[in-house]
């Protein structure tokens, strides 16, 4: 039976797809079974043993070159994609990938364990049993992206995640519009990663350090890694709008700023409360935020957006390496809304 299986299956694949490595791996169990049966006879070097050995040698001779070719990194597109992603990312960066071999290659070859695939998110959402797999899957992906940005890392997203193939959309009963809506908050932030054909396209959401030393943070769609505390009714569209409670604050992602290179901070906000006291905290290398490392200023008595520039050179505690910022737009809320449009550092 093993001989017949190898003969029929082998003949078919020699004609149909001779370089299919998976077939030759699947052929190993019957080949080993054939050899084991032959060795179980009393004659160690019987015709059966020689036949099994001859079949094994023939398999290696016929397919060794194909297996070697398929196993070479230069001939494996997924290996090339994984290597390119690793070369253009840091170990802590989040990689949002489609399903497939990249899940294995990124961990095994590139030592990049911080990734999530679209299939993984859909599987986790289905396992949750809420009956709404895509909203849950979208929330899973968004949480991973937001966590990466808050930690000061970048996020890299595959085009096949942003525009999945029709087969995947049909399998999960999804529409492209649902995918677009999920990633819409980040669209203003990402830039093309620069992979060249035949590699698939990827986009990259920059890490906080890059934004801090360039154009700053513009809250036009996403929080860009910042986190809001002690506030409610928050939304990010044309600015980050929220209703402050007591001691509200916007906490920046992790940073690594040279205080000597930054002379001021600019904040554009609209204040709909009666409170006019704003405060900026900045943490040193120990990460602690305290009044001794902060600067205060008074807001204009208007509900219209205003741009405030606050000098930092000579401010209390503004020295050494700055690892985090916290903006308290007002000291305490009174039911009115505050909208922070953007924050940037002046070099």
Segment 253-283, tens digit of pLDDT? 999 999 999 999 999 999 999 999 999 999 9
Q: What is the mean pLDDT of residues 327-337?
A: 96
Percent of the chain with pLDDT over 70: 77
SS3 65: helix
Task: List the one residue out of 44, 64, 90 whose CA is nearest residue 254.
Answer: 90
Q: What is the mean pLDDT of residues 184-199?
A: 94
Q: Which tokens belong to 46?
A: 């019987």
217-346 belongs to CATH 2.60.120.260: yes
Residue 304 is classified by DSSP as: S
The Cα–Cα gap between 328 and 230 comes to: 10
The predicted structure's pLDDT at residue 243: 98
CA 36 centroid distance within chain? 48
Q: Say whether pLDDT at 196 is over 80.
A: yes
**pLDDT band, residue 124 (cuts 50/70/90):** confident
- Over the stretch 63-91, which tens digit does the pLDDT of each residue have? 666 666 666 667 788 889 999 999 999 99
The predicted structure's pLDDT at residue 283: 98
- Over the stretch 209-249, which tens digit does the pLDDT of each residue have? 999 999 999 999 999 999 999 999 999 998 999 999 999 99
Report the DSSP pairing between strands 94-97 and 155-158.
Answer: parallel
The predicted structure's pLDDT at residue 67: 61
């Amino acid at each position: 039976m093993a001989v017949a299986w190898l003969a029929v299956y082998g003949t078919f694949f020699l004609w149909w797809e001779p370089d299919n490595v998976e077939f030759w791996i699947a052929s190993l169990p019957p080949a080993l079974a054939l050899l084991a049966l032959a060795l179980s006879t009393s004659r160690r070097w019987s015709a059966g043993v020689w036949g099994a050995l001859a079949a094994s040698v023939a398999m290696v001779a016929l397919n060794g070159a194909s297996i070697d070719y398929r196993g070479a990194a230069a001939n494996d597109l997924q290996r090339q994609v994984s290597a390119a992603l690793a070369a253009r990312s840091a170990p802590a960066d989040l990689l949002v990938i489609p399903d497939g071999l990249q899940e294995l290659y990124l961990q095994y070859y590139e030592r990049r364990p911080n990734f999530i695939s679209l299939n993984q998110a859909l599987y986790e959402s289905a396992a949750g049993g809420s009956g709404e797999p895509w909203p849950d899957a979208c929330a899973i992906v968004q949480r991973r992206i937001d966590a990466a940005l808050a930690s000061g890392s970048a996020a890299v997203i595959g085009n096949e995640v942003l525009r999945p193939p029709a087969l995947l959309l049909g399998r999960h009963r999804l529409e492209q519009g649902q995918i677009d809506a999920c990633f819409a908050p980040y669209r203003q932030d990402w830039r093309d990663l620069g992979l060249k054909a035949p590699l698939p396209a990827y986009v990259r959401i920059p890490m906080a350090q890059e934004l801090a030393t360039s154009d700053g943070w513009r809250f036009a769609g996403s929080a860009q890694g910042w986190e809001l505390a002690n506030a409610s009714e928050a939304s990010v569209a044309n600015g980050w709008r929220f209703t402050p409670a007591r001691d509200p604050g916007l906490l920046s992602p992790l940073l690594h700023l040279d205080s000597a290179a930054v002379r001021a901070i600019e904040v554009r906000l609209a204040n709909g409360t009666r409170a006019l006291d704003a405060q900026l905290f900045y943490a040193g290398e120990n990460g602690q935020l305290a009044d001794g490392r902060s600067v205060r200023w008074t807001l204009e008595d208007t509900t219209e957006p205003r741009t405030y520039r606050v000098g930092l050179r000579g401010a209390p505690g503004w020295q050494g390496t700055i690892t985090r910022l916290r903006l308290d737009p007002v000291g305490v809320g009174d039911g009115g809304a505050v909208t922070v449009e953007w924050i940037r550092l002046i070099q």
